[in-house]
């Protein structure tokens, strides 16, 4: 396995990320060694909160939440998934299967021997973290999730499968702006009932864009900015500038990816989301849902009301997972997809209440 490592110099002078690095070495299926990075903040003997990020971000996403959580006496552990942040980055698309990510993070969890964990996950952090809970149940005390899911879609109609696969193989590569338009159009055309149609646009955009404009996307999605500046950045990007007029936030989210060769994780992982009966990991997802159908530890949902990706996703859990009963589920207003950036205090308070800390 060819493995890349982002130079430390790329992370110099990041805004609001003063955290000391911690590294754990694990082994891959072929005996290669992978280094996984995490931050470890707060009292060493405090209740552990494991915060896992999604695609295409890294543990920088949790920098605004760390002060709230540690002030409440919690110990915050936030790893970078393999392929992201300061963790190593396998260079091949085939390295990034859903199952390998679960296995890699399971090794990392066992080596660090964290127990009595409160898990928090969003986006791919939930997809991977919920599978960790199912595989390492004894290590977890409770679960809090936001804007994520445990996708399992064995009954999508054949005509939808055919339409998605035809789009993936035959449609032109979306641009950043046509991707946003087409995702909205696909969801509206299906009445929001067939997530695979809209999500296929994101999958195709990520895989076929050689050098994803990650910093620009995060900045445009999460940072307030004057309309003229937003229009200028959009125009410059259309003219070929990957990261026009980057903010400190944009620079931080681009930092792990100094060249296109480093971006295989963010490019490949959307295609691993099991949205169709033909998707990989379908059987493993079925087994995970069998586990959660009898999961009685607390599971609390804190989804936003306006996430274009996972709107209504809490309905898959509430009432279906026994541990959701009588829990203080919360709808966070106006947080969009990356709630850690836009509503860090609100989502931190959900976690603090769940643990019973700070009272």
Residue 359 has pLDDT above 60, yes or no: no
Residue 357 has pLDDT above 70, yes or no: no
The DSSP code sequence of 51-78 is EE--TT--GGGGTTTHHHHHHTTPEEEE
The answer as to whether 201 is a domain residue is no
Residue range 97-126, pLDDT digits in tens: 999 999 999 999 999 999 999 999 999 999
Give pLDDT tens digits for 286-298.
999 999 999 999 9
Distance from C-alpha of 83 to C-alpha of 98, rounded to nearest angstrom: 13
8 annotated active-site = no
The count of domains in the chain is 1
Beta-bridged to residue 145, according to DSSP, are 121, 301
DSSP 47: P
Q: Does residue 124 form part of some domain?
A: yes
* Distances, alpha carbon 73 to alpha carbons 16, 60, 62, 191, in Å: 20, 20, 16, 44
Write the Ramachandran bin of 263: left for phi over 0, alpha for psi from -120 to 50, otherwise beta: alpha
Its domain, for residue 339, covers 3-152+279-355
Active-site residue identified among 80, 123, 182, 254: 123
How high is the mean pLDDT of the chain?
A: 94
In a domain, 266, yes or no: no
Residue 105 has which token pair? Answer: 């993070």
**pLDDT the model gives residue 267:** 97
pLDDT band at 194 (very low <50, low <70, confident <90, very high): low
CA distance 78 to 52: 6
What would the DSSP string read from start to end of 188-233? HHTTT--HHHHHHHHHHHHHH-SS--HHHHHHHHHS---HHHHHHH
Q: Determine whether 53 is an active site residue.
A: no
DSSP annotation of 313:
G
Is the pTM higher than 0.85?
A: yes
| HSE-CB for 11 with a 13 A CA cutoff | 19
Q: Does the active-site annotation cover 307?
A: yes
Note whether residue 171 is domain-resident: no
pLDDT interval class at 25 (50, 70, 90): very high
Helices (H) and strands (E) in the chain, counts: 13, 10
29-74 pLDDT, tens digit each: 899 999 999 999 999 999 999 999 999 999 999 999 999 999 999 9
pLDDT at 115: 97
Give the residue with greater pLDDT, 185 vs 269.
269
Label residues 122-136 b or e (16+ Cβ within 10 Å = b). Answer: bbbbbbbbbbbbbbb
The pLDDT of residue 358 is above 60 = no
CA separation for the pair 251, 269 (Å, rounded):
22
Report d(CA 337, CA 170) in Å as an integer: 29
Q: Cβ(119)–Cβ(298) under 8 Å?
A: no
pLDDT-based confidence at residue 180 (cuts at 50, 70, 90): confident
pLDDT digits 0-9 by tens, 202-231: 999 999 999 999 999 999 999 998 999 999
Residue 161 lies in a domain: no
157 lies in some domain: no
Radius of gyration of the chain (CA): 19
In a domain, 310, yes or no: yes
Q: What is the DSSP letter of 9?
A: G
Contact 215, 254 (CB under 8 A): yes
CATH number, domain of 109, equals 3.40.50.1820
Considering the domain boundaries, does residue 221 fall inside one? Answer: no
């Amino acid at each position: 396995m060819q493995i890349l490592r982002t130079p430390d110099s790329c992370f110099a002078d990041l805004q609001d990320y003063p955290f000391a690095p911690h590294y754990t070495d694990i082994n891959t299926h072929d005996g290669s060694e992978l280094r996984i990075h995490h931050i470890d903040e707060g009292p060493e003997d405090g209740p552990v909160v494991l915060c896992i990020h999604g695609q295409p971000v890294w543990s920088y996403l949790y920098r605004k939440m760390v002060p709230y959580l540690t002030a409440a006496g919690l110990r915050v552990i936030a790893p970078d998934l393999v392929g992201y942040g300061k963790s190593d980055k396998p260079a091949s698309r085939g390295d990034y299967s859903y199952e390998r990510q679960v296995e890699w993070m399971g090794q990392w969890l066992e080596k660090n021997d964290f127990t009595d964990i409160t898990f928090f996950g969003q986006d791919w952090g939930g997809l991977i973290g919920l599978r960790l809970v199912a595989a390492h149940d004894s290590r977890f005390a409770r679960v809090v999730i936001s804007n994520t899911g445990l996708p399992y879609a064995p009954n999508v109609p054949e005509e939808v499968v055919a339409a998605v696969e035809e789009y993936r193989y035959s449609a032109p590569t979306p641009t950043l702006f046509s991707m946003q338009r087409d995702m909205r159009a696909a969801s509206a055309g299906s009445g929001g009932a067939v997530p695979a149609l809209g999500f296929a646009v994101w999958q195709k955009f990520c895989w076929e864009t050689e050098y994803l404009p990650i910093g620009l996307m995060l900045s445009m999605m999460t940072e307030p900015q004057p309309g003229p500046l937003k229009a200028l950045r959009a125009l410059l990007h259309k003219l070929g500038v990957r990261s026009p007029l980057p903010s400190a936030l944009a620079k931080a989210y681009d930092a792990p990816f100094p060249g296109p060769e480093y971006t295989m994780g963010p490019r490949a992982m959307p295609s691993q989301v099991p949205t169709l009966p033909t998707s990989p990991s379908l059987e493993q997802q079925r087994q995970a849902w069998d586990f959660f159908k009898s999961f009685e530890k607390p599971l609390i949902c804190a989804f936003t009301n306006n996430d274009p990706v996972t709107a209504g996703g809490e309905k898959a859990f509430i009432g279906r997972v026994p541990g959701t009963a009588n829990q203080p589920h919360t709808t966070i207003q106006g947080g969009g997809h990356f709630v850690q950036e836009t509503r860090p205090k609100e989502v931190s308070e959900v976690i603090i209440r769940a643990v019973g800390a700070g009272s």
